[in-house]
Structure 1
């Protein structure tokens, strides 16, 4: 028997994570908490550990040190199938399968529940887009090499992440292929999701993706460089950028990016 459905309370306590085939931690000493109704932005340049952190929060990459808890229970206390239903994941590189749109949303279930599929698509603001396809939800996709644009594939993958009843969304570069209309739809999805006491984590290096965030964590070389309310962190980053520019313009040799 699985654990009861938890609240959207995610806590990381001093975690270190090793990427497959490595001995040096990709992430080290990370601690933070996320509460129901909150949206956390994890920002940093490529290669700084954001995707590794996303996989650790999914339980795909176990923590070598420290603990990751959802609703007070460590991730390994959940049955893997139950955990997969509790956390919706939109990966940076979207993968679609050769099957119908409905089955792609339903995570390749052989008998997807139609209402649950529709609900997920509507929550992802993808329902109208899908209805415009030649056969609607029964349109056959040919993997990621399909008739869908990159933005359409990303919105379909978001519907997949929302399928079922997740309490937490982990979105890795969720608007990388979206235009302004798609980004607005994504932001509506995030607002609606959080309004029901669920939580969202957004991994990104794009400023447009953090407009819905309450708090921001800046990751640099696998460690937390800054953390706090969104506007405070952004203001500090702008101030640092200004200080660096002034130092460079006066010939300072010790200027560094934060």
Structure 2
């Protein structure tokens, strides 16, 4: 799922900020608390400057020798000290409140985004996700979304806080001397905007490359874990380990480049702060010597300038991680915006199953033609066999009947209606689909069978297992139906997993059963039991489509269609 950055950083930020709408009031509160907190911190130093000026004026007025014991106005000192203590306490309280609000917003939004991502995957599945790099998808769902916490907790409000605080300080410094306010504004813009934007442009592409490479490494490691038995069997451990080392080393080099950008930005930011701070000092000294500003205006302006870079410094430091954060945002947004190949239907009149058919259907995977002018009748109450060699298009036909894809030409009809006019929920309710490879969740056997009908009773689950000829095996296990199957069902054989998949289909008890090589991993005894169950359970209203390359599987069918190269023979 290799992606290049398609959007500018400001566009990505705008779209991510749009997700904050449900929590806008809380975000405004966080910004208010942040601005007040920074002002408390800045005015701690400014009030100290005023205290120094007041003390000096009193000393000079009383003409007292400071070294010999001197004089300090205790009442004024007490007042200023009290104010400073209050500001210090308020700074801590306000900062805590801001961080609490920001993190509440961040974690709430991450939950919302995860929900949106899973909903998007559900819409894209299966047509857009078949063959997709699973490790990269896992990387988006986990680490990419997790990185957005930095954006929501440490980016949005700091930007607003830096802008508002800087404007207040420009007005304050400008009230002392207007040109000094302009110089302060220039300093804030350089530190908080120019340097981060410049550094962000330099590292944007590398940030995206790092996130993509990280996802690819996840995929490779996941693939290596799943193929561990084969790696050991064919003595490929060293080769596989070398590949992991090479990929990790490449990822490390990318991280070094990003760290270099971070170091350069940190140096430039510190240098800019020093230049503007000393520039303000020399500028105001020059104006004081010429009698344009008073001593107290000169001192307070310089103190205010030096103590007010906190918000824009925090803003500048954001771009150190912002490249990766925006790259993660791009990947998440691209997934959310991806259009499904098949649109679900949900507002049509309910459909009751009364047979199905395909009429002159053409279908191709990109350039590979699978079905050509294919027609078949699947009447209600019949077991229809489709026999043919692997690659003849049998599985593709079932996926079209499930509407995982739409036919390129021709019609697929359910109960006489175009399948594209049937509600997706109705379609799923009326169809049971058993694939060639049964996926088992890391859960108990009972819960894996119950996927076919959530909320089914234990008795119903057992009855379905008996029809699938898996009940006796389950009862030999230590915990019976409560036995955990392990990740990907790796504690069970292929035949056992296949029979659990068939049990799901029996439990679902849909009127239209689509079975794709349902007994390919079974011995003749278990195959016979399952086929007998299929034959007995069809009734008058159930249609069973039995796809297989085995001739023996076709013995229970009412009609057999031979299939070759996407056509009925």
TM-score bracket for this pair, using the shorter chain length:
0.7 to 0.9
- Whether the aligned pair in 2 keeps the contact of 1:15 and 1:29 (CA below 8 Å) is yes
Aligned position for 1:10: 356
Distance 1:110 1:192, change over 3 A: closer
Give distance in 2, aligned partners of 1:5 and 1:127: 32
Choose which of 506, 511, 517 in structure 2 pairs with 1:162. 506
Distance 1:50 1:110, change over 3 A: closer
Distance 1:77 1:115, change over 3 A: farther
Give distance in 2, aligned partners of 1:138 and 1:112: 15
Matched, 1:189 2:533: yes
Aligned position for 2:490: 146
Choose which of 435, 446, 450 in structure 2 pairs with 1:102. 446
Q: Which runs of structure 1 show a deviation greater than 6 angstroms over 4 or more consecutive aligned residues?
A: none
Give distance in 1, aligned partners of 2:406 and 2:478: 42
- Whether the aligned pair in 2 keeps the contact of 1:85 and 1:165 (CA below 8 Å) is no
- Whether the aligned pair in 2 keeps the contact of 1:39 and 1:215 (CA below 8 Å) is yes
Give distance in 2, aligned partners of 1:122 and 1:39: 20
Aligned position for 1:212: 556
Give distance in 2, aligned partners of 1:142 and 1:86: 30
Give distance in 2, aligned partners of 1:79 and 1:217: 29
Distance 1:4 1:56, change over 3 A: closer
**Per-residue deviation, residues 188-219 of structure 1 (Å, max 9, x unmatched):** 12111223431111111111111111211111
Aligned position for 1:85: 429
- Whether the aligned pair in 2 keeps the contact of 1:36 and 1:194 (CA below 8 Å) is no
Matched, 1:61 2:386: no
Q: CA RMSD in A?
A: 2.2
Give distance in 1, aligned partners of 2:368 and 2:467: 40
**Per-residue deviation, residues 45-75 of structure 1 (Å, max 9, x unmatched):** 1111111112111111211112112222232
Give distance in 2, aligned partners of 1:44 and 1:38: 19
Aligned position for 1:123: 467
- Whether the aligned pair in 1 keeps the contact of 2:356 and 2:377 (CA below 8 Å) is yes
- Whether the aligned pair in 2 keeps the contact of 1:48 and 1:219 (CA below 8 Å) is yes
Q: Secondary structure at the match of 2:447?
A: helix
Matched, 1:73 2:420: no
Give distance in 1, aligned partners of 2:429 and 2:443: 21
Aligned position for 1:177: 521
Matched, 1:137 2:474: no
Distance 1:151 1:26, change over 3 A: same
How far has the Cα of 1:106 moved from its partner? 2.1
How far has the Cα of 1:164 moved from its partner? 2.4
How far has the Cα of 1:37 moved from its partner? 2.1
Structure with greater helix share of residues? 2
Rg (Cα) greater in structure:
2
Q: Secondary structure at the match of 2:534?
A: helix
Give distance in 2, aligned partners of 1:92 and 1:57: 16
Instruction: Identify the range of structure 1 (45-54 vs 189-198) with the bigger mean alpha-carbon deviation.
Output: 189-198
Distance 1:115 1:223, change over 3 A: same
With CA pairs under 8 Å and 6+ residues apart, which has the higher RCO, 1 or 2? 1
How far has the Cα of 1:89 moved from its partner? 1.1
Give distance in 2, aligned partners of 1:52 and 1:162: 22
Q: How many residues align?
A: 222
Structure with greater strand share of residues? 1
Aligned position for 2:388: 44
Aligned position for 1:231: none
- Whether the aligned pair in 2 keeps the contact of 1:35 and 1:199 (CA below 8 Å) is yes
Distance 1:196 1:132, change over 3 A: farther
Give distance in 1, aligned partners of 2:508 and 2:565: 35
Q: Secondary structure at the match of 1:140?
A: coil
TM-score normalised to structure 1 length: 0.78
- Whether the aligned pair in 1 keeps the contact of 2:434 and 2:514 (CA below 8 Å) is yes
Aligned position for 1:240: none
Q: Secondary structure at the match of 2:508?
A: coil
**Per-residue deviation, residues 155-211 of structure 1 (Å, max 9, x unmatched):** 111011222230111111111111122111111121112234311111111111111
